[in-house]
Amino acid sequence: MSAPGRGRTPLQRFIYAVSLLIVSGVFYASSLTPAAEDAALIAALGFLLLAGTLLSELVEMIGLPHLTGYLLAGILAGPHVLGIIDPVTVRRLSPVNTLALALIAFAGGAELRTDQLKRGLRSLLVATGIHSVAGTILCAATFFALRPFIPFVKDMNDTALAAVALLWGVLAVSRSPSATLGILAQTRARGPVATFALAFIMSSDVVVILLMAVATLIAKVLLEPSAPLSFATFHALGHEVVGSVSIGTTLGLLLIIYLRLIGQQLIVVLVALGFGASEVLHYLRFDPLLTFLVAGFIVQNLSQQGDKFLHAIEDMGAIVYVVFFASAGADLNVPLLVALWPVALALALSRGVVTFGSAKLSSHIAKDPPELRTWSWAPLIAQAGLTQGLAGLVERDFPTFGPPFRSLVMATLAINAIIGPIFFKLALDRSKETRSALPALDTAEDPA
């Protein structure tokens, strides 16, 4: 990965800009003519890949991560701006998203090495505790304080509002594994900040899921004091977590055997697992992200095949990630963000302040190295799929306020999804962990 602007002449940048305009114009003109669904899907894939790649090269000029270019390309092309890609086509891109999430989880697990985890275990445990507890409480308190500006909670009594605020607090401490791995894939970063970000965000997924189960139980009690307590949520959660870890361990061992004995056509294997295994796991009510994360961890730490496995993922991810993040941009509800931007911005800013303060406190307690004391907050701003999924659960479990609650979550998520990767890339550059910060190592361009 080169530094912003390095390796690209002004003429090349100009050519990228012109090419982006031409591609956008051609696809915009073609979108005015009705097309068959399959043709529209193929055209959307082509446009997102081309526009995302070109725009990522342009935003790199000002130091922004490629992921930002992908998201912007999707937002501009989506149904709420230029309308090059309609909502039906966005939904039909979901199989690509399924494959991308599988690759992200495999790569995340394979990037976690036991020796690195042991060295940073104290920092990880302290940060997890402070961010989970203090983050949830402070973000919930902020939501409670903003009551006059949130229409659907204005008329609630304090007990009901406390229940909704608690759910919001848990959602606020969720992070984005996809954004983290997308930035790390681009920068090839190595160092304390990159290692901490990967370990913390991957492990926090499980913590947030547990917190949401507890918060849901408490919220139901606060909203309906006479309702009987039900621990079915915890039973289902135990089934999901234990089952996912067990299947992931088995899958990791099978991949080790395959890599040792055959080791060919890894791309085909990854595609089959990304599509087929994900659907089976969903049907059996296991978590594909956790399953593939554990599998990648097993391959990396119980065999000598970890680097080979990672290279295969990177070869596929260079293209799949572009479409994944661009389609995520196309799926952002821009009108909703415009309608809710004042309160969404206030909640996003307060979450950022809480994250910053929690990171500073945890780094001080854990006696982290200087890089972590300065930048450990930066990877924790972005939000994506997990937050969206948890918001959907709230909408299902609490139909009285669930729909407007989810809408506010999505508006806030849109802000965090855009600014989060920018802060993380800045942190990696400033802490000199990216390959672009080390000229002697900058021997190859990032394919993405």
Q: CA angle at residue 342 from 340 to 343, to 5 degrees?
A: 75
pLDDT of residue 137: 95
CA distance 151 to 73: 32
pLDDT of residue 227: 61
Which strand (E) or helix (H) includes residue 125? helix 121-145
pLDDT of residue 33: 61
Q: Over 70: is that where the pLDDT of 233 sits?
A: no
380: DSSP letter: G
pLDDT top residue among 5 and 204:
204
Q: CA angle at residue 316 from 79 to 334, to 5 degrees?
A: 20
pLDDT of residue 36: 59
273: DSSP letter: I
440: DSSP letter: G
User: Angle formed by the axes of helices 158-172 and 192-223, to 10°?
Assistant: 160
CA–CA distances in Å: residue 262 to residues 254, 258, 292, 311: 12, 5, 20, 16
CA distance 149 to 71: 29
303: DSSP letter: S
Output Rg (C-alpha) for the chain, integer angstroms. 22
Instruction: Summarize pLDDT for 97-117 with one digit per residue, the tens.
Output: 788 878 877 887 887 788 877
Q: Which of 107, 44, 134 is nearest to 329 (CA)?
A: 44
Instruction: Summarize pLDDT for 373-388 with one digit per residue, the tens.
Output: 999 999 999 987 678 7
Report residue 234's pLDDT band, with 50, 70 and 90 as the boundaries. low
Cβ neighbours of residue 18 under 8 Å, at least 6 residues apart?
none
CA distance 44 to 339: 27
- Stated pTM of the model: 0.76
Alpha helices in 188-305 (DSSP H): 192-223, 232-261, 266-272, 278-283, 288-301
Second CATH level (architecture) for the domain 96-441:
Up-down Bundle (1.20)
For range 196-216, the mean pLDDT: 83
Contact 27, 42 (CB under 8 A): no
Per-residue tokens: 337: 């963000």
pLDDT of residue 445: 39
CA distance 31 to 50: 16
For range 131-155, the mean pLDDT: 92
Instruction: Summarize pLDDT for 256-278 with one digit per residue, the tens.
Output: 999 888 878 888 888 888 888 88
What long-range pairs does 3-12 form, CB within 8 A, spacing at least 24? 3/436, 3/437, 3/442, 4/60, 4/61, 4/62, 4/63, 4/64, 4/436, 5/60, 5/61, 6/436, 6/442, 7/445, 8/57, 8/60, 8/61
